[in-house]
Structure 1
Amino acid sequence: MKKLVIILWLFMTVGGFSQTPKTNPISEDEVLASTTGSTFLTSFMEEGELYLNIPREVLENPMLFIRYDYRKAYKYIQVLWSLEGDKVLLKHPRVRSSAGIILPVRHHKALKDNILAMFPLEKDMCKQGDLCINITSLVMDNIIEWTKGFTETLVPQLSLLQGSKDFHNEVVIKTRRGLMFEGSRVSFPVFFGLAALPEKLMKGRNYDYRMGFFNEDRSGIDNGEPKNSVANIARWRLEKKHKDRKLSVPVKPITFVIPPDVPEQWRPYVRAGIEEWLPAFESAGFEDAIVVKETDSLSEWEAHSIHTSYVDWGDSKYLRGFDESGGTVSHIIDFRTGEILKSDIYLGASVENVTDRYFIRCAPLDKRAQSLPFPQELTGRLFQRIAAHEAGHAFGLFDSNYGEFAYPVEKMSDIQWLKTMGHTPSVMNYSRENSIAQPADSVPPELLIQKVGPMDRYQIQWGYTEFPEEMSEQEEDFALERIMGMQDSIPWFRFNQSQAEVFGPATANEVVDTNNPVQSTKLALKNLERVICLMPTVVKDQKDIRRLENLYGRLLEHWKDHMLYVTSLLGGYDIRYKPISTPGKMFTPIPLAMQEEAMDFLHANALNPPQWLVAPEFLPKLEYSTFPDKMVEFQQRSVDELLRTRRFKRFEYMETLEGFEGTLEWYLSELQQGLFRELYEGSPKVGRIRQEIQSYYIDRAIMAVHQNAHHTYAEMKAFDYTAYSKGLLMAQLVKLRGDIRSKLKKEKDSDARGHWEHCLARLDSL
């Protein structure tokens, strides 16, 4: 056991941040293996029909049937060919997972298999020993339920069979598929693939909700709940070439191809983003685990082959009316083991999109961002961050919350900390750039941008460490549990899955997540005020107001995200996933002192935003009316957040815990008192926006009190207010009605009398 601990320690201590980029030109022969010597399906076209030769050895062997279309998520199912009499059947069977469970046929428990298609033998065309069938109808006419509920309406007269190509253990088929799409008749390029699965199964690794890996079905099995289901995680097959070494090259590295579609000036940054993960794999014992190759040509056949994982630059960024902010990843995974067989990285963000977002967050901290266009080095580094994030998905990690609400806020300006740890533990977080360092901190601009961090190395270490073959399953489980046990003492190694609600600061997005959300947001707002001042200068050469309008809109969105971040403290929890045998709570309420600070902050900022934000000097250049008023929209959405049923239910539960008695009544009282502070402070005037928000609060609160019970089943009552909450809210509204009446009696000449009379009329409907 002592030896095992030493081995684990060596694994944990390997790694770093820097890696010298390598140039790996690629030839066409390297992209795909030759078909020579393979015993698999082969295809041919004759008189416009597509035929398939099926060697008898292939019958009953599982393989993948894949569909590549305009959507970036590939569709695939495990199939097998069967011979029954003089017909060949294509079946979709249940899949036996090495995790010890059976994956059902499209969620139909009663089916052991499903027949997707049936073909008569083409005896005149059969090679010796092979079976030949015409599969034209399979790819042209069949509607297959690739995913649960999937369907489509075919337009046959717009469909076209364009050919096929055979690769090693794979057939790729090219079509144009006529479809009804959003009311129009369109013809989309659709490729199909039939690919062999590995004969030797990869050793699976059990899914664990405390780590951020997809399972073999990728879409998720636990819906964000902190529990374990029987499944394998999704990961590449990495095996040490030299088993006796602490660091070894893999037998087969993870390889990505950068095609010529990626503009030449951005290729080094895309490569660097993927290669940022090299030290993470070193923490799992693998040296040079990733190979990135550039190629002068990548045919559409090769791009749609299971043997090629490539970077798709995406052309929608160049289309009028389309603008994407990031990217995505498409996986093909062996359902039996979780082995990732293909993973394509899609980079869809435009130059304008990435530069605008960086300007909003970091312009006061980086002089390069104070004029447009940005220098190539800065824009490239922003593309590198996106590539690094998407590469994390390619390695099996999904979007969620990695080590958030953990970093000390004071470290966000500590240059040494930022060099070693970054401003967020993981490049997989939606933290974006460091927007809370201050100009006086003189943080080097290269440290402002998100990068692969300690949490990423930790995740890869757990997911990819290879254990000796002689190690028993129990010993391996113990070793993996020891790695997960590091979460007990290192808070930024803690993971939680994104849920339907933001119920604590560790579940928020789009902000730098520290252990002090209020202080973080105060620092971010200082920079946002500086950005407002920089806006007229940065767009001075623009011929119209579009860029300024976009920048101001993005700034308001970023302000809103920070307000939601602080709001998450109210009725919020700190999250620490742990086994049932481990002492302590999984969900610990945020201390009341922090919640009180958050409430005061929101009243001063979210519900009464500063003039520099609401009415900057350049605003008359953009508008001539109070319609549309984005600030009112965001404040009304803030009221909705504060009155959300899920938040009430969290407060209700907190009241059952020692030290949190009466918190919902306190919360409602503080919320209403702050919203109507002019009423209680004797202010004779109420601003236009404040009147709008106060009226909106009354309407929403009355709706809540009058809401009928919509559901009976507990699982369906997420949006139903409880009788207890309605009673407390009713008491607050009755009090408000009495306070407004008192004010009107005392101050008959108030400038806001009409507003208070209107509020009273609404409250009288109670």
Structure 2
Amino acid sequence: MKYVLLLVFALSLQMGLAQDKNTKDLDSILETMPKSEGLITTFFEDDKLYFKFPEEILEKDLLMVTRLKQLPANYSAYRNAGSKTSEQMIHFVKVGKSIDLVQVLTTNVADEDDPISLSVAQNNLNPILASFPIKSEEGEDFVIEVSSFFNADSPSFNIIPDGLKSEYKIGKADDKRSRINSVKSFPENTEITHTLTFPTSNPPRGNSTNTFTFQINHSIIALPEDKMQVRYEDSRVGWFGLRKYNYSSEALKADEERLIRRWRLEPKDEKAYARGKLTEPKQPIVYYLDPATPEKWRKYFIQGIEDWNSAFEKAGFKNAIQARVAPTKKEDPDFSPEDVRYSTVRYVASTTRNAVGPSVSDPRTGEIIESDIIWYHNHLRSYRNRYLLETGAANPKARTLDTPEEEIGEMMRRVISHEVGHALGLPHNMKASSAYDVEQLRSGSFTQEMGIAATIMDYARYNYVAQPGDKNIRFVRKLGPYDDYAIEWGYRYFPNSSPEQDKDILKSFVDKRSTDPMYMFGGRGNDPNAQTEDIGDNSVKASTYGLSNLKIVAKNLDSWTTSEGEDFDNLEELYGEMLGVYRRYIYHVVSMVGGVHETLLHKGQEGIPYQAVDKTKQQDALEFISDNVWTPQYWLVDEALVSKFAESGKLESLISINKGVLNRLTIAKRLNRMWDTHSTLPGNGLSPQELLDALVKDILTSRTTPDQVERELQKHLVHQLIELEKDKDLALELKGHSLSLQNELLSNFKTKMNTNTKVLKAHYGYMMKMLEEALDD
């Protein structure tokens, strides 16, 4: 027994000496490696990366944000340098001789002193993302090697979505062509940049290497220990938010709480703020312009960012948001757009026509920590084209593809304002464009003061209503009264109050305003007053003005887009987009048919939350559609225009648009909704039977000598009626009405067969055969 004990002791001593030797060996290795001290002290050289951190970092609330820094050409339209792929709260947790990297889930919560918190923890086990053996332990400091973690395609990074992996047939990351590039640590964050290379057997066009290489940046940031006070959502004010389920609530359920996402703005001088004086915040919101931003556009980007200061003044803050040009490497070698300490406006060389405004926030409180506005270069093309098509009739400055710099700059400014609005916490508010009377949009004094919609957060880009001869018109959107209202609601500072007290104060603020169209919020849904790309409170009137203008543009499109000696490529591009503008104006009116007005109300406010669009307005919409769709719009396919770039006519395009409108009106989902709302909602709405009767009359029975475009539409309506009767989802009452209409049409077509025109006789004969075969089934 003594021998065994001595052997065990000897082995233990040997293992201890080996461990000491390994520790000393590691210490000597770390002494020679480049070191970066900060939140996490890092040692990095030759693709080897070690983390050293004190015990106080263990179980500290950290946020890990993963972004693309560089990516392959033609990879994805909406993934670019700066795109965020992952954002997660993490803890480093010591478990025995290892450190686990754990993702911390924050949706389900309970008070720590409430017994139910034990159950919340047991039923919401945090996933372990990685586990690292402790290489060295010196007092309260721990050393782990993380090289393999950052050299792998960890699922938690979400670098390549599953859809793109499948589309491009992307394999596993190639270790030999992947590496860690750089590591920097700062007092509040640690930055790791690495490269991953993947083989792909189905790359996009132009990629002959069958290879995708990405450079990725990870930011590990310490979340504030002094948590920002939360603010509860009010559904009547549009705001991005976080959803929590509070199991300690006194409600007889897990109470759902919605917190808004906002920046932490606190006044430097609380006493002056309390007296109503404009006060600078302790920490303003600062955006840095990407050095890649062309110099001529920078002033417009700065204006677009700082436009929001007028709204913040309503909340009591001055100079709350600032724009700066990013420092050069010489001025600040540590500055990095991927560093979450800096909010940036990124200028991306891409053919994508868009801009976006994402942000990073504290998942515990909703505090926005940073954001990156992304402007795609080719968005200039979209705005140039739409400016010409939608305002050219009344706006001489738009009648060219060489749009004046100040005009393009103004459009860019307003796009940046829109995206900054998202980064401040505001979602789209499509309801706001219906706050203004259509006729007000033809007034120079009104549009210059109020813009063309009550918020910059609507998709109300251009004033397509103003007519030739209207004076001093504003054609481009800008911030409006809703923006002031929303920012005041979200950012007004209340000292020495609780979130519950804030909620009561702000409820009164909203109660007094939310039924005023100027301050209404609404998503899209089935409300014709909450559509994208429309302006004004009456879609029929606005689209009538819009089409009047578009006809003028169509007549001048060649001269406005093509110079002597040029080919007609630009004309063809603009023509295709012109058809899209026409379709958009029509669809604005289509939405009125079967539409339901939504008003976001809380109990005690006057009004009706849901109300069917009045029948007379729906009938006006159908009359507009009859005049501007069912009656062929040959001005859209004028041979003098189309023959310059198309070897065949564009009748198919016109017919396709007409069929698309008819499909929207006769889809079972819409008809069922009309059948339901006609019976259950207040308001004298149109019944689906009345809609089908009107379509049959306008398209089929009232047109005695239909031309080729009308004949195609007639056949399609017959087809739709047959398909509706077969549709298993359509209400039985409506199936019966469809069957009745088919029988009536069969009789009507038999009468029309007496025509002397061979084309029409064949046409009616064909539709009779369609109906007979359907009725015999």
State the TM-score, normalizing by the size of structure 1.
0.85
Alignment of 1:161 with 2:180, yes or no, is yes
Partner of 2:577: 554
Q: 1:724 — aligned with what?
A: 733
Give the whole-Å Cα distance in 2 for the aligned partners of 1:148 and 1:73.
9
Q: What is the CA–CA distance in structure 1 between the aligned matches of 2:519 and 2:685, rounded to whole Å?
A: 32
Task: List per-residue Cα deviations over 1:712-749 (Å, max 9, x = no partner).
Answer: xxxxxxxx3222222222222222222111211x3254
Q: Does structure 2 retain, via aligned residues, the 8 Å contact 1:119–1:134? A: yes
Change over 3 Å in CA distance of 1:74–1:658 after alignment to 2: closer
Aligned to 2:401: 372
Kindly report which structure 2 residues correspond to 1:248-647, keeping only aligned pairs within 5 A, or say none: 248-297=279-328, 302-316=336-350, 322-324=351-353, 326-350=354-378, 351-444=380-473, 447-469=474-496, 471=497, 473-499=499-525, 503-512=526-535, 514-541=536-563, 543-615=566-638, 617-626=640-649, 629-647=652-670
Looking at structure 1, the residues matched to 194 and 243 of structure 2 have their Cα atoms a distance apart, in angstroms, of 27
- Look up the match of 1:55: 54
Q: 1:610 to 1:313 in 2, by over 3 A?
A: same
Say whether residues 1:706 and 2:729 are aligned partners. Answer: no
> Equivalent residue for 1:672?
696
What letter corresponds to residue 752 of structure 2 in structure 1? K
Note closer, same or farther for the CA distance 1:100–1:160 as it changes in structure 2 (3 Å cut). Answer: same
Q: Which amino acid aligns with 1:629?
A: E
- Worse-matched range after superposition: 339-348 or 727-736: 727-736
Residue equivalent to 1:113: 126
TM (norm. structure 2) is: 0.84
CA deviations 1:640-659 (Å, max 9, x no partner) are: 11112331122112321466
1:87 pairs with 2:92? no
Give the direction of change, closer, same or farther, for the CA distance of 1:538–1:749 in structure 2 (3 Å limit).
closer
Deviates most, 394-403 or 522-531? 394-403
Q: 1:10 maps to which residue?
A: none
Aligned partners of 1:216 and 1:339 also within 8 Å: no
- Which residue pairs with 1:205 in the alignment? 231
- CA distance, structure 1, for counterparts of residue 158 and residue 106 of structure 2: 15
Q: Is the 8 A contact 2:66 2:84 kept in 1?
A: no
Counterpart CA distance in 2 for 1:180 and 1:535 is: 47
Unaligned ranges ≥5, structure 1: 1-35, 219-227, 317-321, 709-719
- Equivalent position to 1:736, from 725, 731, 745: 745
Distance 1:349 1:646 in 2: 39
Whether the 8 Å CA contact 1:273–1:384 is kept in 2: the answer is yes
For 1:45, the aligned partner's letter is F
Q: 1:616 and 1:515 mapped to 2: Cα distance?
A: 36
Distance 1:354 1:607, change over 3 A: same
In structure 2, the gaps of 5 or more residues are 1-34, 72-78, 166-170, 204-210, 245-254
The letter for the 2-side match of 1:722 is: A
Q: 1:158 to 1:402 in 2, by over 3 A?
A: farther
1:554-584 CA-partner distances (Å, limit 9, x unpaired): 1111111111100111000221011244454
Task: Determine the C-alpha separation between the residues in 1 that align with 2:747 and 2:426.
Answer: 55
* Secondary structure in structure 1 of the residue aligned to 2:241: coil
Question: Could you say if the C-alpha distance between residues 300 and 763 of structure 1 is closer, same or farther in structure 2, counting changes exceeding 3 Å?
Answer: farther
Q: Is the 8 A contact 2:107 2:243 kept in 1?
A: no
Percent same amino acid among aligned pairs? 25
Question: Match of 1:336, as an amino acid?
Answer: R
Q: 2:202 matched to 1:183?
A: yes
* Bigger radius of gyration: 2
How far the C-alpha of 1:634 sits from its partner, in A, is 1.6
Given the alignment of the two structures, is residue 687 of structure 1 paired with residue 711 of structure 2, yes or no?
no
Q: Is the 8 A contact 2:231 2:499 kept in 1?
A: no
Segment of structure 1 superposing worse, 52-61 or 622-631:
622-631
Task: Describe the shift of the 1:623–1:484 C-alpha distance in structure 2 as closer, same or farther (beyond 3 A).
Answer: same
Q: 1:331 to 1:54 in 2, by over 3 A?
A: same
Between 249-258 and 405-414, report the one with greater CA deviation: 405-414
- Secondary structure at 1:625 match in 2: coil
1:214 aligned partner: 240
Distance between the aligned counterparts of 2:56 and 2:283, measured in 1? 27
- The reply to whether residue 747 of structure 1 matches residue 755 of structure 2 is yes
CA positional deviation for 1:353:
2.4
1:140 aligned partner: 151
Amino acid at match of 1:75: S
The answer as to whether partners of 1:359 and 1:369 remain within 8 angstroms in 2 is: yes
**Whole-Å Cα distance in 1 between the matches of residues 299 and 738 of structure 2?**
58
Aligned letter for 1:566?
V
Q: Determine the structure 1 residue equivalent to 2:19.
A: none
Shift in CA distance, 543/127, structure 1 to aligned 2, threshold 3 Å: farther
CA distance in 2, matches of 1:252, 1:658: 50
* 8 Å CA contact retained: 1:652, 1:664: yes
Tell me the secondary structure at the aligned position of residue 596 of structure 1. helix
- Listed one character per residue, the Cα deviations across residues 502-560 of structure 1 (whole Å, up to 9, x for unaligned) are x1222211222x12111111111111111112211122326222110111111111111
Match of 2:141 among 115, 122, 130: 130
Pairwise CA distance, 1:334: 0.5
Partners of 2:431 and 2:306 lie apart in 1 by 20
Cα deviations by residue, 1:70-112 (Å, 9 ceiling, x for unpaired) = 533441110000111110011112226899899x9xx999432
Residue 675 of structure 2 corresponds to 652
Change (3 A) 1:164 1:529: same
Name the Cα RMSD after superposition.
2.8
Q: Once the two structures are superposed, what CA deviation does each residue of 1:666-710 show, in whole Å capped at 9, x if it has no partner?
A: 11100121111xx43433xx22222222222222332222123xx
Q: Tell me the amino acid that sits aligned with residue 334 of structure 1.
A: D
SS of the residue 2:317 aligns to? coil
Provide closer, same or farther for how the CA distance between residues 544 and 182 of structure 1 changes in structure 2, counting only shifts above 3 A: farther
Shift of 1:627: 6.7
Aligned letter for 2:297?
A: W
Local SS of the residue matching 2:621:
helix
- How far the C-alpha of 1:366 sits from its partner, in A, is 2.2
SS, match of residue 401 in structure 1: coil
Change (3 A) 1:422 1:495: same
- Structure 1 pair 739–659 and aligned structure 2 pair: CA distance change class (3 A): farther
- Contact 2:85/2:158 (<8 A) preserved: no
Report the AA paired with residue 667 of structure 1. Answer: L
Distance 2:763 2:756 in 1: 13
1:443 corresponds to which letter in structure 2? N
Contact kept, 8 Å, 1:99 with 1:232, in 2: the verdict is no
TM-superposed deviation, 1:150: 5.4
Q: Aligned pair in 2 of structure 1 residues 109, 122: CA closer, same or farther (>3 Å)?
A: closer
The 8 Å contact of residues 539 and 589 in structure 2, kept in 1 or not, is answered as yes
Q: How far, CA to CA, are the matches of 2:741 and 2:335 in structure 1?
A: 66
Counterparts of 2:619 and 2:377, CA distance in 1: 39
Q: 1:17: which partner in 2? A: none
Partner of 1:310, secondary structure, is strand
Distance across 1 between alignment mates of 2:231 and 2:201: 41
Q: Classify the secondary structure of the residue corresponding to 2:240.
A: coil
Higher relative contact order (CA 8 A, sep 6+): 1
- Letter in structure 2 aligned against 1:692: E
Give the direction of change, closer, same or farther, for the CA distance of 1:658–1:41 in structure 2 (3 Å limit).
closer
Q: Aligned partners of 2:121, 2:605: CA distance in 1, in Å? A: 37
